[in-house]
Structure 1
């Protein structure tokens, strides 16, 4: 089965409130077996006009596992805590077998 990734680009507008999202989303990642590949490190654009802010890359064993993480009560609680603290673009990417 191919692995899957969730890639997110986050624009944090309220860092203090965002800390609660980070706490809750970290819990959701642990519960659902996400492997954190990148989370908030320095970003260097190599091509194009994309200017990401805070980037998060999570790895899951399957697309179904990634979707289960996103749809879970644990992550939905984190998402609710993020309201007003950040805007996010997030995609699910199926990897190679």
Structure 2
């Protein structure tokens, strides 16, 4: 069953750190089966607080999503995202 990693950016706090994250993020997917489904395209918040943007990544299953997220390559890259903005993120299983 597919799994989806969803990131919601609440607020940018350091645009330079966020730009560094953006420049390095694609390399973290090397060796991981991932399909990019949404990447900061137009959005409409239907419920809850406003967000600046969202990303949705599809992986073959929960284990593959976890393997990418917790990989040393992504965790090193994610440090720039953590400094650059406040995010919420989760993995959800598909049907």
Matched residue count: 94
The TM-score normalised by the length of structure 2 is 0.87
The TM-score normalised by the length of structure 1 is 0.86
Question: Is 1:42 the equivalent of 2:42?
Answer: yes
The question of whether the paired residues in 2 share the 8 Å contact of 1:24 and 1:77 is answered with no
Secondary structure at the residue paired with 2:28?
helix
* Dislocated runs of 4+, deviation >4 Å: none
C-alpha RMSD of the superposition: 1.4
Match of residue 28 from structure 1: 28
TM-superposed CA distance for 1:16, in Å, is 2.2
**Unmatched segments (≥5 aa) in structure 1:** none
Match of residue 12 from structure 1: 12
